Structure 1
Amino acid sequence: SKNEYKLLQILMRQHGQIVSRSRLLRDLWQDERFVDDNTLTVNVNRLRKKIEEAGLKDYIQTKVGQGYIVP
């Protein structure tokens, strides 16, 4: 999806750095005030599944209480 692509772009640009959930929510859904926090989780999980199907396991890592990172 468009948001999954944008999510991957953001994480790859910040390679090796933790990107906070709040930043991802802001960058992906700039004008939508009522986006549920779970929407981000769903998008991350869908993207992870596609990346794993391509052979890259654990490419996007969760840092509990901090955000996500592509190491």
Structure 2
Amino acid sequence: MCELTKNELKILYCLFRHPGEIVSRADMIDYLWDNEVFIDDNTLSVNITRIRSKLKEIGAENFIETKRGMGYRI
């Protein structure tokens, strides 16, 4: 079993809402943190890395694809 944090779940939800489409980093940051405070761009990268690690544990390696300079997609 794999447990996700609230933000990890929101990231996956955002990606699942747009299957096959590239979701920009800016759109994800807006969705996750709603511009309440300035969030370091690295914060999203850390969350994506944690999700990938958890997915790898359950055999879903390479589930999230990075499109360099564009965003992510599933």
TM over 0.5: yes
TM bin, normalised by shorter chain, reads over 0.9
The TM-score normalised by the length of structure 1 is: 0.94
Specify which of 28, 39, 43 is matched with residue 39 of structure 1.
Answer: 43
Counting matched residue pairs gives: 70
Instruction: List structure 1 runs of 4+ shifted beyond 2 angstroms.
Output: none
Confirm or deny that 1:52 pairs with 2:27: no
Structure 1: unaligned runs, 5 residues or longer: none
Deviates more, 1:30-39 or 1:1-10: 30-39
Structure 2: unaligned runs, 5 residues or longer: none
The Cα of 1:31 is off from its aligned counterpart by: 4.2
Q: Which residue of 2 aligns with 1:21?
A: 25
The TM-score normalised by the length of structure 2 is: 0.90
The sequence identity of aligned pairs, in percent, is 49
